Amino acid sequence: MIHLAVFELEADAEHEFTRWYEAEHVPLMLARAGWRRMRRYRCTDGQLQLALYDLDDALPVVPHLSEAPFRSNRFATRGIRNYHARTWREVHSAGEHLERPEWLNAVTVDVEEVFAATFSRWYNEVHVPEILACPGWRANRRYECVDGEPRFLALYDLDDPVRPFNSPQWEAAVGWDEHVDHIRGFHGFRVYRLTFDSADSS
């Protein structure tokens, strides 16, 4: 299970936030029972940040788990925008996973309920193998949200930020095929680079 938070960070607050986040906030989060590891990524196209926490699979999902943890902090009114966090259970895994992926592609999607099972079967059995056959795409993990929306999350380990999105194979494989009419709330194609791993400081 994972907990994933995405938020925008204003440039003039980044230095102070990073110092506080890595030295104070992350240790407090990882002191919770069942919270094991945290990796922080930054989007290559702007100020969007991604915080990825590894959780024990047996950890109960309690109310308010996904609320912003900065509400009583100085960053609540300065520096942080558009905070969104959810908790996810893994439903599928494929490829040769990297122990410490430097580059991630994150895709979220909502699907009409009646088509969700069919979409997942196609994604696991057809779409993921096609994508992982493209240059630069190493591995995939898929998750289903346990405390809100969007419904599905896919995380891909990439070799680098450029080659995966610039091949004829990828151009042929990308897309939702016959499921396009049942998709809503899609966000994807963003690439994130690792900036902090709590395993390095333990």
Pick the CATH number of 2-201 from 3.40.630.10, 2.40.30.60, 3.30.70.100, 3.40.190.10: 3.30.70.100
pTM for the model stands at 0.92
Per-domain boundaries in the chain:
2-201
Q: What share of the chain is helix, strand, coil (3-state, %, to 5)?
A: 30, 40, 30
Q: What pLDDT is recorded for position 6?
A: 93
Measured distance CA(122)–CA(64) in Å, rounded: 33
* Residues ≥6 apart with Cβ < 8 Å to 70: 76, 80, 83
Q: What is the mean pLDDT of the chain?
A: 90
The tens digit of pLDDT for each residue in 96-152 reads 998 899 999 999 999 999 999 999 999 999 999 999 999 999 999 999 999 889 999
**Which of 176, 63, 62 is closest to 122 using CA atoms?**
176
CB atoms within 10 A of CB 133: 11
pLDDT tens for residues 36-65? Answer: 999 999 999 887 999 999 999 998 887 777
